[in-house]
Amino acid sequence: MDKGQESFESLKKVLTKAPVLVQSESDKDYTIYSDTSHNGLGFVLMQDEKVVSYASRQLKPQERNYPIQYLDLAAVVFAVKIWRYYLYDYYPGKANVVAEALSRKTFAALRMLDV
């Protein structure tokens, strides 16, 4: 098989195979990789060198005029915004008052529907 055919087969394999995401583990560290071009921003959230999540977005027309350093910063800010739930610390039990209140409200609403 010549080099061109090998490259084609390799590319075909990568494009037709579904990417496998792993379940994140809250006790392990996360790493965010970002890539910036003058067309869009791309991000990958990884844990132990395995992909947990990925995202990308196109640049807005006014962002196409930004210097590359600003686009790099915009990529980091956007990635932290969309993955903040992964990156914030876990609050166990009563310390997580907001989630506790929401879960109790939902349970009470379900109980009323059951009557």
Q: Positive or negative CA dihedral for 47, 35, 80, 104?
A: negative
Residue identified by tokens 């956007």 is 78
CATH number for position 33: 3.10.20.370
From CA 108, how far away is CA 86, in angstroms rounded?
28
Q: In the prediction, which pLDDT does 99 show?
A: 47
Q: What is the pLDDT of residues 31-63, one digit of tens each?
A: 888 888 888 999 889 998 888 888 899 999 999
- What is the residue range of 7's domain? 3-114
Give the mean pLDDT of 66-88.
87
**Phi and psi based region of residue 72 (left: phi greater than 0; alpha: psi -120 to 50; beta: remaining):** alpha
Is the pLDDT at 110 greater than 50, yes or no? Answer: no
pLDDT, mean over the chain: 78
Q: In the chain, what is the straight-line distance between the N-terminal and C-terminal CA atoms, in Å?
A: 70
* pTM summary value: 0.58
